[in-house]
Amino acid sequence: MDNTRLVLFVALSLVVLMLWSAWQQDYGPASKHGAAPTASAPQTKTAPSASATGSGAGSATSTSGVPSADLPPTSGAASAAKPSEPAQAPATAGRLLPSTGQIHVRTDVLDLTIDTTGGDLRQAELLKYPESTDKPHTPFQLLNDKLPNIFVAQSGLVTNDGPQPTHHVVYQAARSDYTLAAGQNEIKVPLVWTAPNGVKVTKIYTFHRGSYVIGLEQEVRNGTSKPWTGRAYRQLQRTQIALPGATRFVHTYMGGVIYSPQDKYQKVSFEDMTKSNLARNIKAGWAGMTEHYFLGAIIPPADQDDHYYTKVLSHARYVIGLIAPPVTIAPGAEHVFKSRLYVGPKLQNTLASVAPGLQLTVDYGYLTVLAEPIFWLLAKLHTLFGNWGWAIIVLTILIKAVFYKLSETSYRSMAQMRKLGPRMKALKERYGDDKQRLNQAMMEMYKTEKINPLGGCLPIVVQIPVFIALYWVLLDSVELRQAPWVLWIHDLSTPDPYFVLPLIMGLTMLAQNRLNPTPMDPLQKRMMMLLPIAFTVFFAFFPAGLVLYWVTNNALSITQQYIITRRMEQGTKKT
């Protein structure tokens, strides 16, 4: 109890350690979600068989009648089987998915490629989001159909009444190029497949101006003389390879996610998929594949009870999807299976309006209740100042103002402890190594002076949840991705390239040390001197936006602490 500030520094160190641990758990290369397989790993295993992937006897089959491992299960019980281990991706990148023809679609926010094989969404570039600050004119590519970073959206129909229009069949398209023209609000892209028995399927994608939501309709016209019964499925398939541009210290989480009104937002990691196939019936939910800033999601009609499933395929590919209940179409009649896809950034002001719970893919964890209002305020400040860096600084000032009284209590306690420094040193010299008598004398002195030696701790502890919530806001908000501040800071979501902010932060911590009571224990004194150095090195790899917050907070704390300490010292001199 002879050094309150040491307690605070230890608490702060534990907080940072917890943050780092949580970061590694969600974003680390060896996280619980599974280490990314290396591209050079040999391919020693084959694709899982139909039974291994949970297809079973009731599994869907391809148009040739042979069970396909990547088709959805038609039996919920079968899909619960444990899948086989996925084979690793080959050393050279190449096309794994067959291609028969490509349809190019360009809107004001998306540049997409649809393949006539299956009518799959094979490529999607986000025109408003550059790949990196070094490549401002190269859009970030979210969907891709080539190894090692496969991420595609597939859909189709399964039936026992004749040939199946799965994502393996070849569709016909009237055009190969679509562009959203000026004044045009949407584009419809139809693809047609006709079976020999007279069943006609028209798959229609609808793209809207300014939107990352894509409409998907599968219209079935039964031209046969008997009823046709089938089920629509939609699925996302992707590899586990780390995305290009990921740094050594900032790794993105890639994995499946689902939402249900009962269990809310849940992660389905690649490791979870490897252990067992997902098999759940969910109404008014959605499924997706998420990464740090971007998301691909399948959103079925809210009144539809879908079966959710996962599968593990060869070449380290993972599938998450949902299959609708069967629908019977009378001869000469037609039916439209409807869904929506979301392919784009995790824009917090947009996701909630797309589907309930979709905004939870911006994962703030247990502190969402604090993080969401903090982001709301930060976004309002950005609207006011037009710069995320200045918004962070003003937000820090506002947070500091909210906790001003608590901080004042903490700094007064520290100032009192600092004032008692000479008397504490005298007690140390008087009692030497007799710890028990020294502690008794110090407690008596605290009681006489009406000082709580831990009075500076509680205000700091109260602020810790707010700091952690702000940490997640700065780390997980796509709005701050590649957001510049001033001069050399071109991206607040990545570390300071010249380590200027971490060095300034280290200097502010040293300045704070000079205002705090000097530890009597030489070991504690050395620890206090080493902590700013350790924190400087540690924060050199944190996002610049977070370091900017810490520098601003430290500068305000130093100012407040200096004023309080000076006032108390002057008051002591007068008396």
Write the secondary structure of 545-570 as one string of H (helix), E (strand) and C (coil). HHHHHHHHHHHHHHHHHHHHHHHHHH
Output the pLDDT for position 472: 84
Closest to 412 in 3D by CA, of 296, 515, 336, 494: 515
Residue labelled with tokens 């030489």: 522
Closest to 315 in 3D by CA, of 99, 48, 54: 48
Output the pLDDT for position 463: 73
Token digits for 62?
């391809």
Output the pLDDT for position 278: 95
Q: If you count them, how many residues does the chain have?
A: 575
Output the pLDDT for position 534: 83
Output the pLDDT for position 332: 96
Residue labelled with tokens 């506002």: 398
Integer Cα distance of 343 and 204 in angstroms? 16
Output the pLDDT for position 60: 42
Residue labelled with tokens 């859909």: 155
The amino acid at 408: E
CATH 2.70.98.90 fits 34-363, yes or no: yes
The DSSP secondary-structure symbol of 360 reads G
Q: Which residue positions in the chain have pLDDT lower than 50?
A: 1-8, 10, 23-67, 76-81, 84-93, 245-250
Q: Please list the residues that pair with 494 across neighbouring strands.
A: none
Closest to 159 in 3D by CA, of 60, 55, 51, 64: 60
Output the pLDDT for position 76: 47
Coil/strand/helix, residue 311: strand
Integer Cα distance of 506 and 413 in angstroms? 24
Integer Cα distance of 398 and 380 in angstroms? 13
Angle between helices 404-419 and 421-431 (to 10 degrees): 50
Spatial CB neighbours of 304, under 8 Å, sequence gap ≥ 6: 283, 324, 325
Integer Cα distance of 186 and 179 in angstroms? 10
Specify whether the CB–CB gap between 552 and 397 falls below 8 A.
Answer: yes
Integer Cα distance of 2 and 441 in angstroms? 11
Closest to 35 in 3D by CA, of 253, 292, 294, 250: 253
Output the pLDDT for position 47: 35
Q: Categorise residue 311: left if φ over 0, alpha if ψ from -120 to 50, beta otherwise.
A: beta
Dihedral of alpha carbons 514, 517, 518, 524, sign = negative
Closest to 167 in 3D by CA, of 127, 229, 107, 121: 121
Q: Which stretches does DSSP call E strand in 240-379?
A: 255-260, 264-268, 279-283, 286-290, 294-299, 305-313, 317-323, 327-329, 334-345
The DSSP secondary-structure symbol of 152 reads E
Integer Cα distance of 329 and 359 in angstroms? 36
The DSSP secondary-structure symbol of 189 reads E
All CATH 2.70.98.90 domain ranges in the chain, comma separated: 34-363
148 preceded by a cis bond (ω within 30 of 0): yes
Spatial CB neighbours of 547, under 8 Å, sequence gap ≥ 6: 496, 501, 502, 505, 539
Q: What is the pTM of this model?
A: 0.80
Q: Categorise residue 34: left if φ over 0, alpha if ψ from -120 to 50, beta otherwise.
A: left
Beta-sheet pairing, 327-329 with 286-290 = unpaired
